[in-house]
Amino acid sequence: MSTVQFVLDGQAIEAQDGQTILKAAEAAGVYIPHLCAFKDLIPHGSCRVCSVRVNGRIQAACVQTVTAGAVVESETPEILEFRRNIIDMLFAEGNHFCMFCEKSGNCELQALAYRFGITSPRYDYLNPDRDIDMSHPDVYLDRNRCILCGRCVRVSQEVDHKTIFQFVGRGHEKRLQVNGTCLADTELSATDEAVAACPVGALMPKRVGYAIPVGQRAFDAAPIGADVDARKGGAA
């Protein structure tokens, strides 16, 4: 495969032709924050946390492919503020109570908040009225914590080869729906990759509370993105 060069925050980076900016940056040891992008799933650029400026225009790094000579800005004050605002709004838009959430310490939204130095909300909470689906024997779906990233939808289809989740409604009415009246009506298994892919505490296996003690969870050990940052020799 041929390679192309582009510039990311002043650094020349060699990438594979057709590679996304997010993947090329990660390969070069530059972490670009993201939420809806996940491993090798087909990206769809919905959360916009990975926004960068490409030749002056804001684009989602998870879907925008590299082009030869492109000038990409990621860690500018403007872009950092843009991302921080999105993360702030995700907290305000749902009902996230980190201190009571089993995902705390393993939650990517919480970890991004820490990375961006968010300690209190900037926007008023919307306090939406959302339900919790406890019907399944081994998995629950807490829509209060769902950030509508779509990972479960795509992983279920692309990896588990099931069609369990979908989005219904638009704008403020948009919500995650299951293919049936409730989770128990679906062929979801606790071992499905879709369950593990949820970045927050919305889709969770049951009976795992404190199986990993607080203080020993993924982001207790290292901040989100540290694994990528380490490739070039230190955290950003």
Query: Nearer Cβ to ligand SF4, position 34 or 65?
Result: 34
37 is a site residue for ligand SF4 (CB under 6 A): no
At 126, which amino acid appears?
L
Distance CA 164, CA 145 (A): 18
Cα separation of the two ends of the chain: 30
204 is a site residue for ligand SF4 (CB under 6 A): no
Query: Nearer Cβ to ligand SF4, position 53 or 175?
Result: 175
Residue numbers 8-27 binding ligand SF4 by CB under 6 A:
none
Query: Nearer Cβ to ligand SF4, position 150 or 225?
Result: 150
Distance CA 48, CA 59 (A): 8
At 111, which amino acid appears?
A
Other C-beta atoms lying within 10 Å of the C-beta of residue 235:
13
The conformation of residue 20, written as its DSSP 8-state character, comes to B
CB 65 within 8 A of CB 20: yes
Q: Which stretch binds ligand SF4 (CB under 6 A): 41-49, 65-73, 145-153, 210-218?
A: 145-153
Q: With helix as H, strand as E and coil as C, how does 47-94 read?
A: CCCCEEEECCEEEECCCCECCCCCEEECCCHHHHHHHHHHHHHHHHHC
Q: Which of 72, 111, 152, 164 binds ligand SF4 (CB under 6 A)?
A: 152
Q: Which stretch binds ligand SF4 (CB under 6 A): 40-48, 62-70, 122-130, 147-155?
A: 147-155
Q: Which of 24, 148, 183, 228 binds ligand SF4 (CB under 6 A)?
A: 148
Q: Which stretch binds ligand SF4 (CB under 6 A): 39-47, 124-132, 200-208, 218-226?
A: 200-208
Q: Give me 207's structure tokens.
A: 């009976």
Q: Which stretch binds ligand SF4 (CB under 6 A): 14-22, 42-50, 79-87, 140-148?
A: 140-148
List interacting residues with ligand SF4 (CB under 6 A).
146-152, 176, 197-198, 200, 202-203
